[in-house]
Amino acid sequence: MTTLNHAAGSSAMTLLTAVFTPFGPDGSLALGVVGDQADTLADWGSRGVYVGGTAGEGASMTTAERMALLERWCEVAAGRFDVIAHVGHTSLAEARNLAAHARDAGVQAISAVPPYFHRPADAAAVADFFAQVTQAAPDVPFIYYHIPGVTGVTVPASEVLVAARERVPTFAGIKFAHDDLADLQRCLHLAGDSHEMYVGSARLLLATMGIGARAAIGSAYNFAAPVFLRMIEHVAHGELSEARSCQLLAQSAIDTASAYGGELAGFKAAANLVGPDCGPTRPPLRSPGPAQVAELRDRLDALGLLAPASSR
């Protein structure tokens, strides 16, 4: 079972979920919640999960915690959807350790941001770094995670794609979390049916479908998947006005959640209202307090996001 190159020759859009990491009130890892998260995602048809990335606060976790979390996701996802493990790290040795562990855990793919403290200067440096990381998992597809707003690595993804397919034998595609649609279009042209481009901005999902994107990975699908699924269905039926209305509603939900502690903390709080409680974010992020959560609940309810799943 794999979502990689899942839609070659198809105009369909497939959603994968960047999952939140469940923490207890004291900030400790709460692995008991993962099974409930998986059930919720399976219910609406998520095709895969992206574990330990930006939404999963991987950079705020120890290597041991990241490994334990991934093992649990592989257990609960088996036979239901794919698991993509984020193995990015500022340390090459740690990234290699995480990649080898992910391979042994049984993931369908590994993925990583580039080093974000001592940053690679160009596409060749990015590709060479990941050529070394992926040697630790030589038979597992690799997805480059392009998120320059967080990493500060501004090398165009299209340049990385060209370098990576020459230097990284397991290169399978890019998770593109940026608003540069021109660069995304270049990537889609270069990728063809040989590599997959995963859209990482839910705000731009409809626009990216218009230039040929077929897959997306995002954290907004933890709480707003029904809206995006309706949008995709409208596009399939040529109902573009209705699709645009869905995208506007989704943007309203994203803006609403983001007002409560920022995008990550706000999204996690919103997801806690519609699915399993994954607890707070870790410092230095600040989760909204009880009064803010109550206000968020009211605002999401007014948007129709808290209605029973069958009626959304």
Closest CA to 55 of 250, 293, 271, 275: 271
pLDDT at 3 over 70: no
pLDDT at 4 over 80: no
Q: What is the pLDDT of residue 311?
A: 42
Question: Contacts from 288-294 at CB under 8 Å and sequence distance 24+?
Answer: 288/260, 288/261, 292/260, 292/261, 293/260, 293/269
Q: Is residue 111 part of a domain?
A: yes
pLDDT at 40 over 60: yes
Q: What is the DSSP string of 65-92?
A: HHHHHHHHHHHHHTTTSEEEEE---SSH
175 is an active site residue: yes
User: What's the CA gap between 69 and 157, in Å, rounded?
Assistant: 29
**Number of domains the chain contains:** 1
Q: Is residue 138 part of a domain?
A: yes
pLDDT at 77 over 90: yes
211-261: pLDDT as tens digits: 999 999 999 999 999 999 999 999 999 999 999 999 999 999 999 999 999
Q: Is pLDDT larger for residue 137 or for residue 7?
A: 137
Q: Which of 144, 175, 198, 268 is catalytic?
A: 175
pLDDT at 301 over 80: yes
Q: Which helix (H) or strand (E) holds 142?
A: strand 142-146
Q: Is residue 302 part of a domain?
A: no
137-166: pLDDT as tens digits: 999 999 999 999 999 999 999 999 999 999
Q: Is residue 99 part of a domain?
A: yes
145 is an active site residue: yes
Q: Is residue 164 part of a domain?
A: yes
Q: What is the pLDDT of residue 11?
A: 55
Q: Which of 145, 198, 221, 260 is catalytic?
A: 145
Q: Is residue 83 part of a domain?
A: yes
Q: Is residue 233 part of a domain?
A: no
- Answer whether 213's CB lies under 8 Å from 7's CB: no
Q: Is residue 28 part of a domain?
A: yes
Domain range for 181: 14-224
Confidence (pTM): 0.95
pLDDT, the chain, mean: 94
**Binning pLDDT at 50, 70 and 90, where does residue 5 land?**
low
pLDDT at 8 over 60: no
252-286: pLDDT as tens digits: 999 999 999 999 999 999 999 999 999 999 999 99
- Answer whether 57's CB lies under 8 Å from 262's CB: no
Q: What is the pLDDT of residue 12?
A: 77
**Binning pLDDT at 50, 70 and 90, where does residue 312 land?**
very low
What CATH number should be reported for the domain holding residue 190? Answer: 3.20.20.70
